[in-house]
Amino acid sequence: MTFSNISRRQLIRTAALGVGAGLIKTATNAFQLEKASTISDRAHQPGRVPSKIGQRSPFEKPERHIYKALPSGWSMTPLESNVGIITPSDLHFERHHGGIPTIDPDKYELLIHGMVRKPLKFTLSDIKRFPAQSRTCFIECSGNGIDGYYAEKMRENITPGELDGMVSTSEWTGVMLSTLLRECGVKPKASWLLAEGQDAAALTRSVPKQFWDQAMIVYGQNGEALRPAQGYPVRLLLPGVEGNAQVKWLRRIELSDQPFMTREETAKYTDVLPNGKARMFSLTMDARSIITFPAYPDVLYEKGWWEIRGLAWTGRGKISRVEVSTDGGKNWQRAVLQDPVLPNCTTRFRFLWNWRGKKSYILSRAIDETGYVQPTWKQLIDVRGERSYYHTNNIRAWKVMPTGEVFFGLHDLI
Ligand SMILES: Nc1nc2c(c(=O)[nH]1)N[C@H]1C(S)=C(S)[C@@H](COP(=O)(O)O)O[C@H]1N2
Ligand SMILES: [Mo]
């Protein structure tokens, strides 16, 4: 918290209580700054000159959490350090199965073939000539948040980003897939397409027709070219669909009348259910939410009013409501949704809470426009069992200790 949000009286009181050396220092600085500002609010030396490429303030050091530094590894967005709904491009989570390839945009080509009247190859300039569209939406790995599902994996010292940071939001720019498909003349019987990547993993996924209308072939991310980690120069964007199907470094689309049953949709990205059957092509991302403040390692340094803040999102359109509980899930109250509330996009929620200084469990649950309600851990385990791995969107919980320290606390409630 910056000193301007805290009254001087509060700071001096906190300092007098000797809550911690860090706070006393902040209080003293705030006091001095306040005095100084009555004399002059300007620095006396000229600052830095303009530059071609900007940089973060040296005081801000957000970082992705690297899960495995391998070509098949991933990194997670530090959800707790972001404000608003857009993820800075250099903090977008990364998930690769064979590392990030280097692709020369001048040599790039996209082939569309299979059940089409006219197979075509598009260069990057060809793709950019078509009418451009932008969509702000999330991409989420369906493996996001496994540490909040397996009771034995749950640990107290986990940050929101380490728990659920395989979701990020960008403004994506490109051409509607339907525009390119029209050029090729898709045969009426075609009902599935295969998307293939140009990486070492040559990742391939089958996408059924119901998602084609929303699909985009994108080359832009937050106002600039896609980042290499996000699929430079071109990726498939499927708003609301599991990340794995949004093929990066896209090189080929093949139309067919049946799914291709690739490795990524058979051995992986399916869930074995308690009855021995497997859930396949579970492509739509279910509604979920996470409180990003207060969360581990935040410390509420005094009782009183605090704003609980977080993100909610769904692959079924818009978030219609977020509810917050501050008593472990017994009572729920409606949080405020911050505009804009966009379809298939992260939505900010806020809830003002008067913390009385007692041990409290704070939870959030998302409800989307189809009426889908984010399930409890028990509800999800009952349906999916213990061998499930993907789409673990159960409600999360943080516990606020009487000391003000905050820890992940779901395991205490199950
Ligand atoms: N070609 C290709 N596309 C890919 C992948 C990959 O390894 N290769 N990983 C997929 C997975 S599992 C996810 S969750 C998303 C992650 O997108 P991001 O790295 O831009 O966040 O990309 C998908 N598209
Ligand atoms: Mo993924």
In tens, the pLDDT along 356-403 reads 999 999 999 999 999 999 999 999 999 999 888 999 999 999 999 999
The backbone region for 322, taken as left when phi is positive above 0, alpha when psi lies in -120 to 50, beta otherwise, is beta
The answer, yes or no, to whether any atom of ligand 1 lies below 6 A from the CB of 93, is yes
What percentage of the chain exceeds 90 in pLDDT? 87
Other beta carbons less than 10 A from residue 110's beta carbon: 21
Whether residue 3 has pLDDT greater than 60: no
pLDDT at residue number 20: 40
pLDDT at residue number 37: 53
- Give me ligand 2 centre to Cα 142, in Å: 6
pLDDT bucket at 44, cuts 50 / 70 / 90? confident
- Give me ligand 1 centre to Cα 297, in Å: 29
What radius of gyration do the chain's Cα atoms show?
Answer: 24
pLDDT at residue number 17: 41
In this prediction, residues 332-344 reach a mean pLDDT of: 98
Alpha-carbon span 229 to 307, nearest angstrom: 34
Atom of ligand 1 nearest to the CA of 202: 1
Q: Could you tell me if 346 and 138 are in contact, meaning their C-beta atoms sit under 8 angstroms apart? A: yes
Atom of ligand 1 nearest to the CA of 142: 14
pLDDT at residue number 319: 98
The answer, yes or no, to whether any atom of ligand 1 lies below 6 A from the CB of 135, is no
pLDDT bucket at 195, cuts 50 / 70 / 90? very high
Angle at 39 between CA 35 and CA 42, to 5 degrees: 105
pLDDT at residue number 254: 98
pLDDT at residue number 34: 54
Domain boundaries, the chain: 9-34, 65-271, 288-413
In this prediction, residues 318-323 reach a mean pLDDT of: 98
The answer, yes or no, to whether any atom of ligand 1 lies below 6 A from the CB of 162, is no
Which ligand is closest to the CA of 218, given by its number? Answer: 1
What percentage of the chain exceeds 70 in pLDDT? 90
Report the mean per-residue pLDDT for the chain.
92
- Give me ligand 2 centre to Cα 143, in Å: 6
Whether residue 14 has pLDDT greater than 60: no
- Residues forming beta bridges with residue 172, ordered by sequence position: 135, 221
Residues 114-161 have pLDDT tens digits of: 999 999 999 999 999 999 999 999 999 999 999 999 999 999 999 999
Whether residue 279 has pLDDT greater than 90: yes
Question: What's the CATH number for 65-271?
Answer: 3.90.420.10
Alpha-carbon span 70 to 21, nearest angstrom: 40
Whether residue 91 has pLDDT greater than 80: yes
Q: 288-413 adopts what CATH topology? A: Immunoglobulin-like (2.60.40)
Among residues 135, 227, 128, which one has the least CA distance to residue 180? 128
The answer, yes or no, to whether any atom of ligand 1 lies below 6 A from the CB of 195, is no
Whether residue 21 has pLDDT greater than 50: no
pLDDT bucket at 234, cuts 50 / 70 / 90? very high
pLDDT at residue number 387: 85
Residues 173-191 have pLDDT tens digits of: 999 999 999 999 999 999 9
pLDDT at residue number 165: 98
Whether residue 259 has pLDDT greater than 50: yes
Whether residue 16 has pLDDT greater than 90: no
pLDDT at residue number 39: 56
Whether residue 23 has pLDDT greater than 70: no
pLDDT at residue number 11: 41
Q: Could you tell me if 144 and 167 are in contact, meaning their C-beta atoms sit under 8 angstroms apart? A: yes
In this prediction, residues 68-96 reach a mean pLDDT of: 96
Q: Could you tell me if 62 and 81 are in contact, meaning their C-beta atoms sit under 8 angstroms apart? A: yes
Q: Is the dihedral of CA 59, 60, 66, 67 positive or negative?
A: positive
- Give me ligand 2 centre to Cα 73, in Å: 10
Whether residue 206 has pLDDT greater than 70: yes
Whether residue 19 has pLDDT greater than 80: no
pLDDT at residue number 38: 56
pTM over 0.75: yes
The backbone region for 368, taken as left when phi is positive above 0, alpha when psi lies in -120 to 50, beta otherwise, is beta
Mutating to test ligand 1, I would choose from 65, 97, 264 the residue with most ligand atoms within 8 A of its C-beta, which is 97
In this prediction, residues 191-215 reach a mean pLDDT of: 98
- Give me ligand 1 centre to Cα 242, in Å: 10
